[in-house]
Amino acid sequence: MSSSPGRMKRFVNGDGLPALLMVLPALCLFAVFFIWPFARGFWLSLNKWDGFSQPVFVGLANYARLTSDPLFLKALGNNLIFVAAILVLKNALGLGLAMLLDRAVIGRAFFRGAVFVPVTMSFVAAGLLWSWIYNPVFGLLNAFLDSAGLSFLKQRWLGDASIALYAVIAVDVWKWLGFHAVIYLAGLQALPSELYDAAEMDGAGPFRRFLHITLPLMLPVIFINTILGLSGAFVRNFDIVYVLTQGGPNHATEVVMTLMMKRAFQDGAMGYASAMGYALFLIVGLLSVGLLALMRRTRLDV
Amino acid sequence: MARGISPTRRVVGALSTYAILLLVVAQTIYPLLWVLFGSLKSKSEMLNNIWGPPLSIHLENYTQAWKTAGMASRITNSVVVTACALALVVLIATPCAYAITRLRFPGRNALLALIVASMLVPPQVMTIPLFTVASDLGLINSRLGVALIYAAAIMPLSVFILRGFLLTLPVELEDAARMDGASRLNVLLLIMLPLIRPGIALVTIFAFIEIWNDFFLAFLLLRDPAVQTIPLGLVSFFQQYDSLWNLYFAALMITTLPVIILFTLMQRQFVAGLTAGAVKA
């Protein structure tokens, strides 16, 4: 550092000192609880470590092991199904619900508030509520199917390996639908109504108006909703899976986060578990960058 | 408005809109009503009368759930952790956002880039190292320690939101005050702070919902039942007494209702803040 007296003086007389004082607390907190663990986790992922004894450096062996670990690949596969399903469902149903809210001029605030209520619940509360709804013996869902004369549709919702993952996904969509609907509603309300009037004059039906006006104009909002949801869809599923199924039955609902916690705290494979976290980060990062690039290109085309 | 469509079709359209909306609202609200009803029923009524409202009100479910689930200490823990974390976020993020937006200092752009980049790193991917760092610092089972980690995790987004609010304010305001000899700190406290109150409110509401409802970090770091927060308490209550449905529903109501009421009271500000952030971006 060249600390000539003139430079030092400028620093003190200018904004340097107050800026330092204002930024320093945030920087300290951030360095200790964000940057340090981030760097340390990468180092851990290159080691074999049980959490107690001396770590042993193994290079990329943990990452190599990931690619041939059937359980990790299964969890990653489930994770991808989870992400794809909730992104599609939240966007499609969120936009649909927003269009209904947009048309409901009377009582809109009530309906908007009512669909938003699950968003304010914790994952734990939502998960526990739904574990009762899904309960095969006393649950609301099977009772409802019985009284609707649809008893043949009754299931062990969380106990059947072929449908448990979708039952978990449904809870996540239920919890977040209102959030996306509210954002889409704001987007819809910003659209110019003249376009719709003109299209109606030209005899375009509701479906064509949706396809040629609403959808193209809403594309930026759809992208924002997807970007906002993407990394969360990958990593914010531990609570709900843990509460509903703990990853079972027979790993049918195992996702990377739940497997990572089991490896770290049940098997003491801290290095390997760290590698799982970073592999997930890499996948999320690449997808986000890809999506952002796509977003930029599409905007140019529009 | 268009002339081509007959009034009957218009009415049918409106009716079907409301019919579908009522269905949607039924599936969001009825499960909660079901919990409310269940929390007031006796255990035998839970099995005989699954759907409807309680025939007789059993308020003692609430007192019993309060005791059995150790609700008092869980609520205290949640309040302590959330209040500390919110205070830290507001006290630390606000000056940082102000410095990044308005002050000139070396490294400013690098700092902004670091904050934006860290918003792309979900803290969950560094769960394991976060645990070892907290363990080295003696912060396992520490409520203040967890609050520090919550504050750090939510810091980048908070600084970013506050910067957005600061950017909309005219610079002339502070220039005038600076001419009159006010220090940077005085400008921040006396001029900027009152003007970015909506931004601080938005950050606080988001952080509150996030931290108050969090299970994962608390599960990772608060191992001792004496320091555990509400979500952890709910899960362990459920795992221990999974046949006491009515008590469990009462516990769920005690913890969920305050947040729902808070949201209902602040709905307008909340939705305005949410959509302003998302649609402008």
HSE toward the beta carbon, residue A232, CA cutoff 13 A: 13
Of A30, A100, A186, the CB nearest to B21: A100
Nearest to B233 by CA among A259, A118, A125, A262: A125
Under 8 Å CB pairs connecting chains A and B tally to 258
B79 close contact with A: CB closer than 8 A: no
Question: How far apart (Å, rounded) are the C-alpha atoms in residues B25 and A1?
Answer: 63
**CATH fold group of domain A62-301:** MetI-like fold (1.10.3720)
- pLDDT at position A2 is 46
Reported as a single tens digit per residue, the pLDDT across A94-114 is 999 999 998 888 888 888 888
- Check residue A137 and give its pLDDT: 80
Least Cα separation, residue B266 to chain A (angstroms): 10
> How many whole angstroms separate alpha carbon B137 and alpha carbon B134?
5
* Beta carbons of B29 and A114 less than 8 Å apart: yes
- Kindly list the structural domains of chain B, giving each domain's residue range(s) and its CATH number in brackets, ordered by start: 7-58 (no CATH), 69-280 (1.10.3720.10)
* CA distance linking residue B249 with residue B232, whole number of Å: 16
Residue by residue, DSSP assigns A160-198 as: -TTTHHHHHHHHHHHHHHHHHHHHHHHHHHTS-HHHHHH
Interface probe, candidates A2, A3, A15, A23, chain B, greatest B C-beta count within 10 A: A23
- Encoding tokens for residue B97? 């956002």
Mutate to test the interface with B, among A7, A15, A22 (most CBs of B within 10 A): A22
Put simply, whether B26 touches A (Cβ < 8 Å) is no
**A63-87: average pLDDT:** 93
Q: Band of the pLDDT at A28, cuts 50, 70, 90?
A: very high
Work out the minimum CA distance from A162 to partner chain B, whole angstroms.
24
- Say what the pLDDT of residue A155 is: 82
Query: Is the minimum CB–CB distance between B238 and chain A shorter than 8 Å?
Result: yes
Contact residues on chain A for B214, CB-CB shorter than 8 A: 122
Q: How far A264 CA lies from chain B's nearest CA (Å)?
A: 7
Q: How far apart are CA B183 and CA A69, in angstroms?
A: 60
HSE (side-chain half, CA atoms, 13 Å) at B134: 26
pLDDT for A198-207, tens place per residue?
887 888 777 8
A280 interaction partners in chain B (CB closer than 8 Å) = 125
How many CB atoms lie under 10 A from the CB of residue A135?
19
Q: Which residues of A touch B99 (CB under 8 A)?
A: 15, 18-19, 22-23
> What are the tens digits of pLDDT across the range A4-27?
556 666 665 567 888 888 899 999
Q: Note the pLDDT of residue A299.
A: 65
**Beta carbons within 8 Å of B4's beta carbon, 6+ residues apart:** A200, A203
Write the residue in A27, A33, A261 that is nearest to B149 by C-beta. Answer: A33
The highest-confidence range among A67-71, A144-148, A185-189, by mean pLDDT, is A67-71
Q: Give which of B103, B206, B118, B138 is closest to A179, Cα–Cα.
A: B206
Low-confidence stretches of chain B (pLDDT < 50) are: 1-2, 279-281
Give the single-character DSSP code of B56: S
pLDDT value of position A73: 95
In chain A, what residues touch B264 (CB-CB under 8 Å)? 113
Q: What is the pLDDT of residue A175?
A: 92
Instruction: Output the six-digit token pair for B26.
Output: 């039924």
What type of residue sits at position B75? Answer: I
Q: Which residues pair with A57 in a beta bridge?
A: A47
| Mean pLDDT (chain A, rounded) | 86
Q: What is the pLDDT of residue B1?
A: 46
- DSSP SS3 for A55: coil
Q: Which residue in B248, B256, B271 is closest to A121 by CB distance?
A: B256
Nearest Cβ partner for A125 among B245, B255, B279: B255
Domain boundaries, chain A: 5-33, 62-301
User: What does the pLDDT read at residue B276?
Assistant: 63
Share of chain A above pLDDT 90, in %: 37
Residue pLDDT, tens place only, A198-231: 887 888 777 888 888 888 888 877 887 787 778 7
Nearest-by-Cβ selection for A235 from B122, B212, B213: B122
**Complex prediction ipTM:** 0.84
- How far off is chain B from A267, nearest CA to CA, in Å? 13
Instruction: Say what the pLDDT of residue B88 is.
Output: 95
Q: How much is the pLDDT for A24? A: 92
pTM of the prediction? 0.86
